[in-house]
Chains A and B, each alone.
Chain A
Amino acid sequence: MSGAGPPVWAEWLLERLLPARDRETVGGDLREEYEEFVAPHLGRLRANVWYLRQMISFARRCMQEGGTMTKLLAVSSVITLLCGCWLALMECLLRHPGFEARAAVALLVAAAGVATLLVRFLHAGVRRERWLWTVAVALMGLGVFSFARNARAAHFEGFVFIISIVLVVQGLLMLTTLGRHSGPGRIVARA
């Protein structure tokens, strides 16, 4: 079978999930399997699902390759993402005065979680960005601010306490795991 191969975005994503050594060979093997065997037998839609399943199996492999800190970072990123989404949803539902700004901040927190996960898995070319450090410091600042404000508030709210701790942990893990500055505008990746 010739013509359309796997989805272009999926191939692009897979190539960035894989270490440089396997990028060409594994991508080629999966494309060959997709075109010669899977798509003719299963049809295009189910073949695309098959391709996604293979991608996930490599994501798990990437996850297993990192150290404990990197795994912790992936877990904390998911928690940060969920916290951000939940906070934004609650702000939109309750609609207290000034909820728009707080919902926007909550969505930014969720975006930071997504961005960290992407950096963790798509390790090509993004480690050199300074914005990682900025995001990490911003998350920690937001966490400390929320913690202090909650501590001074008349009603101590447990979920705000938990989320503020999550943000500080996320920021610390980002600073220690994703990379370190070795000069102006350059970050060296850590194993």
Chain B
Amino acid sequence: MPLGIFQLTRTQIYVYIVGMADLMGTFELSVLLAILRLGDRAYGRAVLHQVQESLGRSVAAGAVYTTLDRLEQRGLVHSKLAAGTAIRGGRARRYYAATAHGSRALTEAKETLTKMWQGVKLPVAVKP
């Protein structure tokens, strides 16, 4: 029998509310995973390419940079500037890396998704 929210303890309610709110969206997840995959080569353009590759569609640069900003504000990634190249007109590159909090959030997201999918067989059958 599933638990109603009124049957949960205060800690459980806190985890329920904050934990669910903290869950990352698919796009945030793909950006954070792209940073992890790229390692020390994770600057804006490379992240954009990686995200497009993993999602299998074209993505606007604005969406990726907005997400990177949001992830940085939430403490999931940090960034540092590095010298630019001639093709960029000497403009600096900003390299991103996942923080410990970011790695933990990714692990939690993966565990949550795995739990959510338990008992569901793929492809999902729809009853008429």
Instruction: Give the residue name and chain of the A residue nearest to B44 (CB).
Output: A29
Instruction: Give the residue name and chain of the B residue nearest to A17 (CB).
Output: B62
- In this complex, the interface size class of chain A, counting residues with CB under 8 Å from chain B, is 20 to 34
Contact status B60-A57, CB under 8 Å: yes
Contact status B61-A25, CB under 8 Å: no
Q: Which one of B61, B89, B92 has the greatest number of beta carbons of chain A within 10 Å? A: B61
Count of residues in B whose CB is under 8 Å from the partner chain: 20
Contact status B65-A61, CB under 8 Å: yes
Within 8 A of A (CB), among B59-106: 60-63, 65-66, 81, 84-85, 87-89, 91-94
Contacts of A129 in B (CB 8 A): none
In the assembly, what is the distance between CA of A148 and CA of B61, in Å? 49
Contact status B66-A29, CB under 8 Å: no
Known contacts A24-B92, A58-B61; is A29 also within 8 Å of B87 by CB?
no
Contact status A31-B62, CB under 8 Å: no
Q: Is A22 an interface residue (CB 8 A)?
A: yes
Contact status B92-A54, CB under 8 Å: no
In the assembly, what is the distance between CA of A54 and CA of B87, in Å? 19
Nearest-neighbour CB distance to chain B for A4, whole angstroms, equals: 12
Q: Is B48 an interface residue (CB 8 A)?
A: yes
Contacts of B93 in A (CB 8 A): 25, 28-29
Contact status A32-B62, CB under 8 Å: no
Contacts of A27 in B (CB 8 A): 91
Apart from A28-B84, A56-B62, list 11 A-B contacts with CB within 8 A: A25-B44, A25-B81, A25-B91, A28-B88, A29-B48, A32-B45, A32-B85, A33-B61, A57-B61, A57-B63, A58-B65
Give A contacts to B, CB under 8 Å.
2, 5, 22, 24-33, 35-36, 53-54, 56-61, 64
